Chains A and B, each alone.
Chain A
């Protein structure tokens, strides 16, 4: 007895001071049952008014604006966009890269933070994965219609055909097809597999026949036996590892589309890393934009705590700093290369006549505004973080525009120069994809387990058989 008291004293002395200790994953110390109720409450309750207020415009954009712009472009041709010689890649590719970027932070939060055993990720992981799945859907659409004749998209797949043609596998554009499709499939699988135990929770809680039927199908007979969990955990780790590889691969391959080109400003080996980090940075911005309102509106303040939001902000800061370093290197190398064309293009990014505002947006937001995240006051102010999140998305969008259009509109021959202005069809399609994204996201929030219920329960002290709250008695399994 004296021994254990002594041990306790020693442990207390060795424990870090309170201010260094980690914030609890879930605030308010709910019991496991209460936690289950809380996490399923939103999907089971009546649809609130705010949901309709956001859903209807999003659904309008997704079901009216989006198909109108899409079909008009497909039936008429790429000419309805502003794309023309010499700027053959316009908003379609800008938005493609932007959407792929948004996807990346979702996978990073979900997979990489799982592998590094960050317990706080359990609360936001599912939302992040959903963001990934929906934004990859939006991203994948752009290259498919950008080719101009969307009905020939099957040329990109190795399908035996009577022309005897095969795809050209030496092209990074081909690799893109594989990368984006794989990203969509793997992130959807990862998302779906994570939800299986939570579908079982919904199945077991269901009160209506239709919910019972739907979730019985989705849960696929999950019982939560130790053998099932054993295989499930292994599969989850494997998928996390593979998804982490994808984070670094997909955007790298998108980056390779650029660095194999000869155009000044695209002729750099830094692109793969540049695009990965840019993607992650942009995705953290989107994460802030989605999490901050949803935690409030869905009544999840105790689950997605302020400390989790602050951690996302810190990650945004880290990725933002890497991005800043890359900007610095890009400009430095352009100057150091001594290549007049490189210098011209980079000079015109900031001091050109046409697109300088976007160049300064890039510097103003991605370099300057990001620095605000150094301050704890800002990181704990949700309004500030929400606005910074929105700004990061704009900043990264302008960066993609500067890279794509900024290099194309002035190449080596002044006779070859031109301007690019997006048309209403370019913008309409972007608005349509934004609408589709938010519509899908709202449907996910309303109908599916928006928080990984079993994962959150699994990181509670009540779930640890060696913790007093988990039922452990003194002297058990020490």
Chain B
């Protein structure tokens, strides 16, 4: 079991405080950092320049995949593998395939959204170095924490700590990664 430094964590009391701190950390040139909050903070996306989440595209892919597959399945089963004349209707037509395909599009989109969200967030995971941190449990309550990763090129245990303290962060501590 080796212990290495995961990063530095600092605690803030309000959404405005962490938003300011995030702006400053970004302006200081850090790249590998993240803000941990009990709820999404309006404006944090812009500060972190996160752009548009890819989840929407994953959902679209899931939906399109299901739609085409179900339409294809209906063609295969009802028009190709076992053609059956029902009321003189055509073997394959858009109106008859649309409803099940559309319903399964919703299913595919929903699965895509969930899987995309989990995948992009690298979940599920049973452990995260931050979860060992005593005070980190307060993030889900009413504290706002900012973590600067040790892998950041500009990371320096003393300088970064000074910056976080200057920004008003309290309880600035080293997070250890026990692997």
Say whether A33 faces chain B, with CB atoms less than 8 Å apart. Answer: yes
Say whether A354 faces chain B, with CB atoms less than 8 Å apart. Answer: no
Within 8 A of A (CB), among B78-126: 78, 81-82, 84, 86, 89, 96-97, 99-100, 102-104, 106-107, 109-111, 113-114, 116-118, 120-121, 123-126
B16 pairs with A227, CB closer than 8 A: no
A45 CB, nearest partner CB in chain B, Å: 18
0/1 string, B117-142, CB within 8 A of A gives 1:
11011011111101100001111111
B155 CB, nearest partner CB in chain A, Å: 17
A238 pairs with B14, CB closer than 8 A: no
* Chain A residue contacts of B114, Cβ below 8 A: 189, 192-193, 235, 239
Among A166, A472, A473, contact of B77 (Cβ-Cβ < 8 Å): A166
B116 pairs with A189, CB closer than 8 A: no
B99 pairs with A186, CB closer than 8 A: no
Say whether B174 faces chain A, with CB atoms less than 8 Å apart. Answer: no
Say whether A205 faces chain B, with CB atoms less than 8 Å apart. Answer: yes
Docked complex Cα distance between A245 and B20 (Å): 39
Give chain A's interface residue range (CB within 8 Å of chain B). Answer: 35 or more
Q: A175-B100, A223-B130 are in contact. Are A182 and B137 (CB under 8 A)?
A: no
A231 pairs with B16, CB closer than 8 A: no
Docked complex Cα distance between A471 and B16 (Å): 5
Q: A221-B128, A232-B117, A455-B39 are in contact. Are A168 and B86 (CB under 8 A)?
A: yes
Say whether A465 faces chain B, with CB atoms less than 8 Å apart. Answer: yes
* Chain B residue contacts of A471, Cβ below 8 A: 13-17
A235 pairs with B117, CB closer than 8 A: yes
A234 pairs with B53, CB closer than 8 A: yes
Docked complex Cα distance between A242 and B44 (Å): 26
B123 pairs with A221, CB closer than 8 A: yes
B140 pairs with A204, CB closer than 8 A: yes
Considering the complex, give the chain B residue whose CB is closest to the CB of A469: B14
* Chain B residue contacts of A245, Cβ below 8 A: 106
Within 8 A of A (CB), among B26-64: 34-45, 48, 50, 52-56, 59
* Chain A residue contacts of B86, Cβ below 8 A: 168, 170
B54 CB, nearest partner CB in chain A, Å: 8
A31 pairs with B15, CB closer than 8 A: no
A229 pairs with B15, CB closer than 8 A: no
Docked complex Cα distance between A253 and B77 (Å): 22
Docked complex Cα distance between A193 and B20 (Å): 30
Say whether A200 faces chain B, with CB atoms less than 8 Å apart. Answer: yes
- In this complex, the member of B13, B39, B125, B127 whose beta carbon has the largest number of chain A beta carbons within 10 angstroms is B39
B82 pairs with A164, CB closer than 8 A: yes
Say whether A220 faces chain B, with CB atoms less than 8 Å apart. Answer: yes
B106 pairs with A249, CB closer than 8 A: yes
Say whether B68 faces chain A, with CB atoms less than 8 Å apart. Answer: no
Binds B, one of A21-29, A313-321, A325-333, A456-464: A456-464
Within 8 A of B (CB), among A419-478: 454-455, 457-458, 462-466, 470-473, 476-477
The dominant DSSP class at the A interface is helix
0/1 string, A172-198, CB within 8 A of B gives 1:
101100110010011001101100010
A431 CB, nearest partner CB in chain B, Å: 31
Docked complex Cα distance between A239 and B106 (Å): 9
Considering the complex, give the chain B residue whose CB is closest to the CB of A203: B140
Say whether B74 faces chain A, with CB atoms less than 8 Å apart. Answer: yes
* Chain A residue contacts of B118, Cβ below 8 A: 220
B103 pairs with A179, CB closer than 8 A: yes
A473 pairs with B16, CB closer than 8 A: yes
Among B77, B100, B117, B128, contact of A193 (Cβ-Cβ < 8 Å): B117
A470 pairs with B38, CB closer than 8 A: no
Q: A223-B128, A242-B106 are in contact. Are A232 and B40 (CB under 8 A)?
A: yes
Docked complex Cα distance between A226 and B18 (Å): 11
Docked complex Cα distance between A183 and B102 (Å): 13
Say whether B73 faces chain A, with CB atoms less than 8 Å apart. Answer: yes
Say whether B19 faces chain A, with CB atoms less than 8 Å apart. Answer: yes
A220 pairs with B123, CB closer than 8 A: yes
B124 pairs with A220, CB closer than 8 A: yes
Docked complex Cα distance between A96 and B51 (Å): 45
A465 pairs with B43, CB closer than 8 A: yes
B34 pairs with A205, CB closer than 8 A: no
Among A193, A238, A249, A466, contact of B109 (Cβ-Cβ < 8 Å): A238
Considering the complex, give the chain B residue whose CB is closest to the CB of A164: B82
Among A158, A197, A217, A246, contact of B140 (Cβ-Cβ < 8 Å): A197
* Chain A residue contacts of B45, Cβ below 8 A: 226, 230
B103 pairs with A182, CB closer than 8 A: yes
Docked complex Cα distance between A36 and B13 (Å): 15
A242 pairs with B110, CB closer than 8 A: yes
Q: A182-B104, A186-B110, A242-B113 are in contact. Are A32 and B44 (CB under 8 A)?
A: no
Considering the complex, give the chain A residue whose CB is closest to the CB of B139: A224
B149 CB, nearest partner CB in chain A, Å: 11
B40 pairs with A166, CB closer than 8 A: no
* Chain A residue contacts of B106, Cβ below 8 A: 182, 186, 242, 245-246, 249
Give 8 CB contacts A-B under 8 Å.
A31-B142, A197-B39, A204-B138, A234-B56, A235-B53, A238-B110, A246-B106, A465-B19
Inter-chain pairs besides A168-B78, A465-B14, 9 sampled, C-beta below 8 Å: A32-B38, A164-B82, A178-B104, A185-B111, A217-B126, A225-B34, A229-B39, A231-B120, A464-B15
8 tightest A-B CB contacts, nearest first: A471-B14, A220-B124, A471-B16, A458-B39, A166-B77, A235-B117, A221-B125, A32-B142
- B contact residues vs A (CB 8 Å cutoff): 13-20, 22, 34-45, 48, 50, 52-56, 59, 73-74, 77-78, 81-82, 84, 86, 89, 96-97, 99-100, 102-104, 106-107, 109-111, 113-114, 116-118, 120-121, 123-128, 130-131, 136-142
- A contact residues vs B (CB 8 Å cutoff): 31-33, 36, 158, 164-170, 172, 174-175, 178-179, 182, 185-186, 189-190, 192-193, 197, 200-201, 203-205, 216-217, 220-235, 238-239, 242-243, 245-246, 249, 253, 256, 454-455, 457-458, 462-466, 470-473, 476-477
